[in-house]
């Protein structure tokens, strides 16, 4: 039985991804940062903690065959002039450095066995930058670039690396928005609704599947058509 490691599995989207992979018959190891409802707590910007995370997953289930880099942070919407250097650096530390560290730790086993799946979670704002989201947009764009480069590097070894770029997903992160704001966001989405965590999990499961061996280096927008049809 293959093992999947899902980072950020305590959030709504990460929890849905972990549950969907479990339903596919995988062993799923759940990472979190500050919530006890996971298998291991770790700050993914810290290399020592990332290594400890993987060691714990390996002790529980064996080597990691599928890695889903879902963990990420964002700042409140703000102008670049209101964004401190420390805030910018922290977003990149978690959203980019964390992905890099997890990928680097997972790759050797995948290459040795000539099979592996890495799915990175970016954002539609990593494909098309958003106003007042400079740090987050730049970090998520870096995840897209990392995905493409690593896909080319690992393809000869049977390892695929792909990216899912969600649009506006209806999660507790949007709880601060009013009903009118949410309705407007849905109206601005060509399919006429907000996305769900399950919408994202379906895309992740596709990339993680053994039958997706000829798909690598791709970024799949799960945004209801906002960037392509809107």
Per-residue pLDDT tens over the stretch 180-218: 988 898 999 999 999 999 999 999 999 999 999 999 999
- CA pair distance 29, 6, nearest whole angstrom: 6
Mean pLDDT of 224-229: 88
Contacts of residue 142, Cβ cutoff 8 Å, sequence gap at least 6? 92, 95, 96, 126
pLDDT in tens, 117-130: 999 999 999 999 99
Mean pLDDT of 48-52: 98
- CATH number 3.30.460.10 is the correct assignment for the domain at 3-219: no
- Which pLDDT score is estimated for 228? 81
- For residues 167 and 223, the answer to whether their CB atoms sit within 8 Å is yes
- Which pLDDT score is estimated for 176? 75
Mean pLDDT of 41-66: 98
The domain locations on the chain are: 3-219
Return the active site residues.
136
Mean pLDDT of 136-158: 98
Query: What pTM did the predictor assign?
Result: 0.96
Taking residue 53's Cβ as centre, other Cβ atoms within 10 Å add up to 25
Higher pLDDT among residues 178 and 113, named by residue: 113
How is 185-219 classified by DSSP, letter by letter? Answer: HHHTSTTSS-B-HHHHHHHHHHHHSGGGTT--S-E
35 has a pLDDT exceeding 70: no
- CA pair distance 141, 120, nearest whole angstrom: 11
172 has a pLDDT exceeding 90: no
- CA pair distance 30, 37, nearest whole angstrom: 9
pLDDT in tens, 63-112: 999 999 999 999 999 999 999 999 999 999 999 999 999 999 999 999 99
- For residues 88 and 99, the answer to whether their CB atoms sit within 8 Å is no
């Amino acid at each position: 039985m293959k093992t999947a490691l899902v980072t950020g599995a305590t959030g709504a989207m990460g929890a849905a991804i972990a549950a969907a992979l479990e339903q596919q018959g995988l062993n799923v190891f759940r990472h979190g940062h500050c919530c006890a409802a996971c298998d291991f707590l770790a700050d993914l910007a810290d290399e020592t903690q990332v290594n400890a995370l993987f060691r714990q997953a390996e002790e529980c289930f064996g080597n990691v065959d599928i890695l889903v880099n879902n963990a990420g942070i964002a700042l409140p919407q703000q102008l670049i002039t209101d964004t401190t250097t420390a805030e910018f650096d922290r977003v990149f530390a978690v959203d980019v450095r964390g992905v890099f560290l997890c990928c680097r730790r997972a790759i050797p086993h995948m290459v040795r066995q000539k099979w592996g799946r890495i799915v990175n979670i970016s954002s539609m704002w990593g494909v098309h930058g958003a106003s007042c989201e400079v740090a987050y947009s730049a970090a998520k764009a870096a995840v897209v670039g990392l995905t493409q480069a690593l896909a080319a590097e690992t393809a000869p070894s049977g390892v695929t690396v792909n990216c899912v770029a969600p649009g506006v997903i209806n999660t507790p992160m949007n709880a601060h928005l009013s009903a009118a704001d949410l309705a407007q966001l849905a109206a601005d989405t060509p399919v006429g609704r907000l996305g769900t965590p399950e919408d994202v999990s379906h895309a992740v499961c596709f990339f993680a599947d053994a039958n997706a061996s000829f798909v690598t280096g791709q970024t799949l927008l799960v945004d209801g058509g906002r960037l392509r049809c809107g």
